[in-house]
Structure 1
Amino acid sequence: MDKLPRYKAIVVGAGPAGLFAAIRLAERAAAEPTAAQSGILVLERSLKPGRKLLLTGSGQCNLTHSGDIADFLGHYGGGARPESAARFLKPALFGFSNEELLSWFQARGIKFETEENGKIFPSSRRASSILNVLTAEADRLGVRIETGRRVLGIERRDDFFSVGAETAGEAWEASRLIIATGGASYPTTGSSGDGYTLAASLGHGIVAPRPALAPVYIKDFSLGSLAGLSFRGAGLTIRREGAKRIEREGDLLITHEGLSGPLILDASRFVATGDRVEIRFADAAIEEFRSLFDDALRASPQRLVRTVLAERGLTKSMAERFCDLAGIGHEQKAADLPRSRREAVCRLACAHPFEVERLGALEAAMVTAGGVDISEVNAGTMESRIAPGLYFAGEVLDIDGYSGGYNLQAAFSTGALAAAAIAAVIAV
């Protein structure tokens, strides 16, 4: 067999996790290295690196979130238990925090803006600003990036991994390998789930991929005429077979076919077809709302019911729609409202029931839930517990964060940790 081109480390995937891992490895190399000296190869399926990164934050790149890095831990799902993701990500996040991520980019000329909700964006509001820094830094450090190279097979040969591409006859080898291929959402960007197949071929278990940060489509949706309405501080309860799964508050958006917005997107990993979703649109829980509503009706018996509803955090159009659904005329006066209708409208406002028809398709989800089983990966190094010398970084792992910059932070942090672990055991 012909001798394969040998590198110190090969990274599969040129998204944020893969690029940053390669850069951090190359930073450990000699000053002003050439491409041949760095010994780091990145293989990317797409014709350009970072295509999915360009879509983040609607193209504006919500890089991370403000606040103490310890507060990040409660913003991830994944693993077998509710606390699994936090325990797994703690070494990575504490090893390379949001402040360190911002400082790294600031040292390379990027300025940032923090919104009231804590989301942090480059001041340019362009994801390309972040990608340009990554590719320029990789080039400066001599990282070799080969695009249009879809990795189809990986074999372990003695102390090396042999990596073969779809293009005929192309193969490389390295003693250390990082799989950072992303999830399975937005496959047109190259994030098609190849990493799962590669990891499985090396003995890893894969948690079935499913949509996360996805809209929820509702069966026989009755509020489609209100599409575009948004609500601050709405309440969400998800029930399955009568049992409560989760209860959350946040911002919600009504769409033509269902529900979206940060509240829904963040909870979508917990949702399945057939679940009952209850939404509190009003500004109070049902017990308080019922009391306030009754008091308002008694105090102003000649006022219209829809007017009273509109004063409790509902828009005029929604108040009218709730009256329709409760069988209340738009000109119905408070004094003439039967108690059964009062209860019906209270429930529509505070515990509006919906049945989940489906989630947004995985192809259109912002993030993938599921992936490489994190119980088979060392949280302190990102190294495989099954195949020594194999590492993982980013969304290929069974980790998914809430909206707000948490997923990109996890990508950079796990990439940095994998690089540090590799640098500690090989000369780079």
Structure 2
Amino acid sequence: MNTFDIAIIGAGASGLFAGSLIDRKFKTIIIEKNLIPGKKLLLTGAGKCNFTNIEKRSEFIKAYGENGSFLKFAFKAFDNSKCIKYFKVKGLKILITEDGRVFPESQKASDVRNILIDEINHRGHILLNGTTVKKISRNRSKFKIHTSNENFDVEIIILCTGGKAYPVTGSTGDGYSLAENFGHRIVPTEPALTPLKINRFKLNKLAGVTLKEKIAFVYKNKKIIFSERGDILITHDGLSGPAILNISKYIKPGEKISINLSNQDFGQTDKKLLNYASKYPKWSIKNIVKLFSIPESISSYLCESNKISSSKKISSLTKIERRKLCKDICELPFIVKEKYGFEKAMVTAGGISLNEVNPKSLESLLVNNLYFTGEILNLDGKSGGYNLQCAFSTAYLAVQNISNKLNK
């Protein structure tokens, strides 16, 4: 019979994790429109799967900005330490990088996905791939799920179809219309954690160069409104890398960003240049600039853009030349032409309004027994494992609440 206690719609990270937690005594089906479950999960962290990090819980909440407080119950129920323990118990060997990011030691996202699928199978749940949910209707206390192949009657639904990022993986926002049919409001969506195209970009010949641990700034009306420190990757038409991805949601086309290559203010940088000039008077400007942990190719670009010979000795640099160079080191400016769309965005900003979801259970405040987890919600965090942790934590809290409800 096509009757189930629980239906999970979407077999991404959140849906698979939810399925891996539900007790076998509850008849459960996971419905996925792709033929391959966890398709987007397989691409996470360039296929290496940065699934959490070792930051404090407060940092996880902060990573979600103004919406972070919504997640305090989810992160309390299932934080990063519990997440790491879960996968270790399942046999996954863990790699923790210097900056605290957590990966499978194998650097294979498939290892994480396969653990979840194996656990779902072990619990006897049905994983139905290649099936699209067309409509969900409500008949008294039960839902009827209408799919491309057959229909199902269920008591409880967990809707975790994700957002619109990486549409090639099937993330096309299908769940939004399903939620809207039950009266839920969708906060307008836009790409987040996405690379930037730069207007009149002059660094295109340096594509592939990475600036290690530099600060990127976002400006509004000539004032800095946001900054982020991290690696910055130069691309053929703009900028990418963790620092850029994390500021992308705060930027609109035509606005200014800048990179601080010294990670110090103008006065400190100028003083350091003077000290270098005194200590290494015969060194070339290009080699002096490299002392700020700036790649040689960028050092040459700074000299060229300021019409200074890169071979010129630092001791012969005029005050005007030094201050112009110093300004670019501290505030290398760019005007954003446009942001890449959902095709390159890692996550979706916007989604189901948090005002209509109970943060203590992830249950809809409009419809009983309807739950939302993961990226379908109006939640988007920084890069670095925050978003996958959110997918797991919200799934855990929802399943915990559902289990308590069904056990009564």
Q: TM-score when scaled to structure 1?
A: 0.90
**2 CA distance for matches of 1:262 and 1:204?**
33
2:354 alignment partner in structure 1:
374
Deviates more, 1:334-343 or 1:318-327: 334-343
2:34 alignment partner in structure 1:
46
Residue among 242, 247, 250 paired with 2:222 = 242
Q: Which amino acid aligns with 1:153?
A: K
Shift of 1:303: 4.4
SS state at 2:231 partner:
strand
Q: Which amino acid aligns with 2:90?
A: R
**2 CA distance for matches of 1:24 and 1:311?**
52
Matches for 1:173-212 after TM superposition, within 5 Å: 173-212=153-192
Question: Any conservation in 1 of the 2:161–2:174 contact (CA below 8 Å)?
Answer: yes
Structure 1 residue ranges, 4+ long, deviating more than 6 angstroms after superposition = none
Question: Any conservation in 2 of the 1:182–1:193 contact (CA below 8 Å)?
Answer: yes
Residues 185, 295 of structure 1: CA spacing in aligned structure 2 closer, same or farther, 3 A cutoff? same
2:131 alignment partner in structure 1:
149
SS state at 1:207 partner:
strand
1:35 alignment partner in structure 2:
none
Shift of 1:299: 6.0
SS state at 1:101 partner:
helix
1:410 alignment partner in structure 2:
390
SS state at 1:364 partner:
coil
Question: Any conservation in 2 of the 1:305–1:332 contact (CA below 8 Å)?
Answer: yes
Q: Which amino acid aligns with 1:109?
A: G
Deviates more, 1:68-77 or 1:115-124: 68-77
Q: Which amino acid aligns with 2:89?
A: A
- Measured against aligned partners, the alpha-carbon deviations of 1:162-215 in whole angstroms (never above 9, x if no partner) come to 211134xx2212121111001111112111110111111211111222112211
2:329 alignment partner in structure 1:
349
Residues 330, 97 of structure 1: CA spacing in aligned structure 2 closer, same or farther, 3 A cutoff? closer
- Measured against aligned partners, the alpha-carbon deviations of 1:295-349 in whole angstroms (never above 9, x if no partner) come to 4446665543333322232232222211111121234344554433322211211
Shift of 1:23: 2.6
Q: Which amino acid aligns with 1:255?
A: T
1:96 alignment partner in structure 2:
78
SS state at 1:361 partner:
coil
Question: Any conservation in 1 of the 2:18–2:399 contact (CA below 8 Å)?
Answer: yes
Determine if the alignment matches structure 1 residue 19 to structure 2 residue 16.
Answer: yes
Matches for 1:25-424 after TM superposition, within 5 Å: 25=22, 27=23, 29-30=24-25, 38-77=26-65, 82=66, 85-167=67-149, 170-297=150-277, 303-424=283-404
**2 CA distance for matches of 1:92 and 1:286?**
42
Question: Any conservation in 2 of the 1:178–1:392 contact (CA below 8 Å)?
Answer: yes
Shift of 1:157: 1.8
Question: Any conservation in 2 of the 1:277–1:353 contact (CA below 8 Å)?
Answer: yes
Q: Which amino acid aligns with 2:100?
A: G
**2 CA distance for matches of 1:299 and 1:142?**
71
- Measured against aligned partners, the alpha-carbon deviations of 1:210-267 in whole angstroms (never above 9, x if no partner) come to 1122111111112222222222221111002323220222222222211111111122
Residues 142, 326 of structure 1: CA spacing in aligned structure 2 closer, same or farther, 3 A cutoff? same
**2 CA distance for matches of 1:388 and 1:290?**
62
Q: Which amino acid aligns with 1:306?
A: K
Q: Which amino acid aligns with 1:185?
A: A
Q: Which amino acid aligns with 1:377?
A: V
Q: Which amino acid aligns with 1:146?
A: L
Deviates more, 1:295-304 or 1:10-19: 295-304
Q: Which runs of 5+ in 1 are unaligned?
A: 31-37
Q: Which amino acid aligns with 1:110?
A: L
Question: Any conservation in 2 of the 1:283–1:313 contact (CA below 8 Å)?
Answer: no
Shift of 1:136: 1.2
Q: TM-score when scaled to structure 2?
A: 0.94
**1 CA distance for matches of 2:287 and 2:360?**
58
Shift of 1:410: 0.7
Identity, % of aligned pairs? 35
Deviates more, 1:318-327 or 1:329-338: 329-338
Q: Root-mean-square deviation (CA), in Å?
A: 1.9
**1 CA distance for matches of 2:325 and 2:51?**
42
Residues 221, 200 of structure 1: CA spacing in aligned structure 2 closer, same or farther, 3 A cutoff? same
Residue among 4, 7, 16 paired with 1:7 = 4
Question: Any conservation in 1 of the 2:215–2:263 contact (CA below 8 Å)?
Answer: no
Q: Which amino acid aligns with 1:41?
A: I
Question: Any conservation in 1 of the 2:17–2:395 contact (CA below 8 Å)?
Answer: yes
Question: Any conservation in 1 of the 2:12–2:41 contact (CA below 8 Å)?
Answer: yes
Q: Which amino acid aligns with 1:424?
A: N
SS state at 1:341 partner:
helix
Deviates more, 1:292-301 or 1:352-361: 292-301
Residues matched between the structures, number = 408
Q: Which amino acid aligns with 1:409?
A: Q
Residues 150, 259 of structure 1: CA spacing in aligned structure 2 closer, same or farther, 3 A cutoff? same
Residues 173, 325 of structure 1: CA spacing in aligned structure 2 closer, same or farther, 3 A cutoff? same
Q: Which amino acid aligns with 2:16?
A: L
**1 CA distance for matches of 2:323 and 2:91?**
58
Question: Any conservation in 1 of the 2:227–2:247 contact (CA below 8 Å)?
Answer: no
1:34 alignment partner in structure 2:
none
**2 CA distance for matches of 1:296 and 1:20?**
54
Q: Which runs of 5+ in 2 are unaligned?
A: none
**1 CA distance for matches of 2:278 and 2:257?**
32
